[in-house]
Amino acid sequence: MTASTSRRRKAWNQGKTGTGRAAADSPVIERCPVEVCGTEATGPAPIKGMVKVRVPGSAEPARWYCPGRCHAIGQALAELRSIPPQGTSPQRKGR
Ligand SMILES: [Zn+2]
């Protein structure tokens, strides 16, 4: 951080300094340290024990995840991407 950035930040915070809360654009979940986690499942599992996630109709391709937490996150992500964008859903027509 440069001196001028610091000064501007201080002014914006009405003189308050110190560590604020995490920026709003920081990831909600920490990235998994396993390099192949979340890679597209085009062949056999890159690491033994990886779980394949594939949701029919999802924009997300089949991907490999670590079992447990990553698997749950991957599953949720794929399910979210199977929801059509707002305004194109047939259930919303005629309202
Ligand atoms: Zn993982």
Confidence of residue 93 (pLDDT cuts 50, 70, 90): low
40: three-class secondary structure by DSSP: strand
Q: Say how many Å lie between the CA of residue 45 and the centre of ligand 1.
A: 13
Q: Report d(CA 62, CA 55) in Å as an integer.
A: 7
- From residue 41, alpha-carbon distances to 34, 51, 77 in Å are 15, 10, 15
pTM over 0.75: no
The pLDDT score that the predictor gives to residue 81 is 94
Q: Say how many Å lie between the CA of residue 83 and the centre of ligand 1.
A: 24
Q: Percent of the chain, pLDDT > 90?
A: 53
Q: Say how many Å lie between the CA of residue 59 and the centre of ligand 1.
A: 20
**Which of 9-13, 41-45, 65-69 shows the lowest mean pLDDT across its residues?**
9-13
Q: Report d(CA 11, CA 66) in Å as an integer.
A: 45
